Amino acid sequence: MKIRSKLPDVGITIFTLMSALAAEHEAINLSQGFPDFDVDPDLLALVDKYMQSGYNQYAPMQGVPALREMIAEKTQQLYNAVYDPYAEITITSGATEALFAAISAVVHPGDEVIVIEPAFDCYVPAITLNGGVPVFVKLNFPDYHIDWDDVQAAISSKTRLIILNSPHNPTGAVLSDEDISALKRIVEDTNVLIISDEVYEHIIFDGLVHESMARHPELAQRSFVISSFGKTYHTTGWKIGYCLAPEPLSAEFQRVHQFLTFASNTPIQFAYAEFMQKKDAYLELAKFYQKKRDKFLALIETSRFKAVPCKGTYFQMLDYASISDESDIEFSKRLTIEHGVASIPPSVFYHDNEDHRVLRFCFAKKDETLERAAEKLCKI
């Protein structure tokens, strides 16, 4: 039997490959982005409470109302944006599902989608599966800023969507208010929609402010704002995310979501809804991760790696140009196998595998893990 692949150029994701290589060689895994520390015991107790007390059947398709209400309240407090919890907020099975649903909801065959590279790996396959055409615009190395003239030049009459991600994985760059002004000018008087991947919204450093699309009514009215509880509550394995969008966009979003997963995990939604009352858990997260970033940077200061400034996320890019002229893929493999530290080669996030001789390291780790990793990195 012959199967005609719909994604013939796609292999196993780099996260799966590098985590497997790290396990095989017992390397310290700073590749795939996930914390190695524990979840707040109160949150675990809440999941247990809801499971034990019978909240184990399907949740409403749009998500548990209590959770949607808490998200609406948080969004109003942080971004001064009003979303109707019953018509404009959908709970999803991770941000990954939300991204797929949003792309599927609006991209028709032949539509162009502007993708800023390096780009998180699930955007382009979702565009391709829907018959869309990715149009790539590269961030400018080494500070990874967006040149908005490049974005303007990439826009055509076929442009349906721009996908943005701030704080940005893998580079740690964040959108500034100048970026927002430029974006407003570009999309004004067009039918271009925006997907804003804001899963690292609470992990932003040095006093910078997260420029959520939700903050800007002119942009919010054409945006799907997507976030994930996994990053905020150290629960990447629970796979719950959400999408904020004005009513007409949310209606299209839910048309897809209801047939993609129908609904997401019930007891975990109830647990998050109650846990969200503890606002410090997200308000203090930036401080927590800034300490981790600074600790990691201090630990590797004497190494031959050069840090690329990281303004948000839990990823630090390190330039290894003074150590090796191998490609980032070759060097990351050798670093894992011979030196015992796994990382991610960012060239896999470019359609043409652009390579700047940098690697991405995840610092969402216990201090002791960072110390052990840094000791190895400093010996190279």
Determine the interface stretch with ligand PMP among 37-45, 233-241, 271-279, 348-356 (rule: CB under 6 A): 233-241
**Calpha distance 232→243 (Å, rounded):** 15
Determine the interface stretch with ligand PMP among 89-97, 100-108, 138-146, 261-269 (rule: CB under 6 A): 89-97
**What φ, ψ does residue 313 adopt, rounded to 5°?**
75, 180
In the window 136-195, what residues touch ligand GLN (CB under 6 A)?
A: 169
Measured from the CB atom, is 359 or 374 closer to ligand PMP?
359
DSSP, collapsed to helix, strand or coil, labels residue 120 as coil
**Calpha distance 50→267 (Å, rounded):** 5
By the rule CB under 6 A, 165 interacts with ligand PMP? yes
Task: Look up residue 360 and give its two tokens.
Answer: 């991405």
**Of the residues 88, 179, 197, 211, which one makes contact with ligand PMP according to CB under 6 A:** 197
Instruction: Please report the sign of the dihedral spanned by the C-alpha atoms of residue 97, residue 100, residue 103, residue 108.
Output: negative
Task: Choose the contact partner of 332 out of ligand PMP, ligand GLN, none; CB within 5 to 8 A by kind.
Answer: none
**Calpha distance 111→107 (Å, rounded):** 6
By the rule CB under 6 A, 272 interacts with ligand PMP? no
Task: Look up residue 371 and give its two tokens.
Answer: 């110390």
List Cβ neighbours of 17 (8 Å cut-off, separation of 6 or more).
none
DSSP, collapsed to helix, strand or coil, labels residue 71 as helix
The position carrying tokens 């609470």 is: 202
By the rule CB under 6 A, 199 interacts with ligand PMP? yes
Q: Of 155, 149, 200, which is closest to residue 175 (Cα–Cα)?
A: 200
In the window 30-69, what residues touch ligand PMP (CB under 6 A)?
A: 33
Task: Choose the contact partner of 340 out of ligand PMP, ligand GLN, none; CB within 5 to 8 A by kind.
Answer: none
Cβ atoms of residues 361 and 318 within 8 Å: yes
Task: Choose the contact partner of 141 out of ligand GLN, ligand PMP, none; CB within 5 to 8 A by kind.
Answer: none
Residue type for position 239: K
Task: Choose the contact partner of 221 out of ligand GLN, ligand PMP, none; CB within 5 to 8 A by kind.
Answer: none
Per DSSP, 312 falls in state B
By the rule CB under 6 A, 264 interacts with ligand PMP? no
**Of the residues 176, 236, 290, 327, which one makes contact with ligand PMP according to CB under 6 A:** 236
**Calpha distance 32→18 (Å, rounded):** 7
In the window 2-41, what residues touch ligand GLN (CB under 6 A)?
A: 13, 15, 32-33
Task: Choose the contact partner of 241 out of ligand GLN, ligand PMP, none; CB within 5 to 8 A by kind.
Answer: ligand PMP
Dihedral, CA of residue 205, residue 206, residue 210 and residue 211, to nearest 10: -130
Instruction: Please report the sign of the dihedral spanned by the C-alpha atoms of residue 318, residue 319, residue 322, residue 327.
Output: positive
How many residues of this chain bind ligand PMP (CB under 6 A)?
14
**Calpha distance 87→79 (Å, rounded):** 19
CB of 32 to ligand GLN, least distance (A): 5
By the rule CB under 6 A, 343 interacts with ligand GLN? no
Measured from the CB atom, is 96 or 104 closer to ligand PMP?
96
Long-range CB contacts (within 8 A, 24+) of 48-53 = 49/271, 50/266, 50/267, 50/268, 50/270, 50/271, 51/267
By the rule CB under 6 A, 95 interacts with ligand PMP? yes
CB of 43 to ligand PMP, least distance (A): 16
List Cβ neighbours of 53 (8 Å cut-off, separation of 6 or more).
none
By the rule CB under 6 A, 312 interacts with ligand PMP? no
By the rule CB under 6 A, 94 interacts with ligand PMP? yes
Task: Choose the contact partner of 32 out of ligand PMP, ligand GLN, none; CB within 5 to 8 A by kind.
Answer: ligand GLN
Applying CB under 6 A, the residues found at the interface with ligand PMP are: 33, 94-96, 120, 165, 169, 197, 199, 228, 230, 236, 239, 241
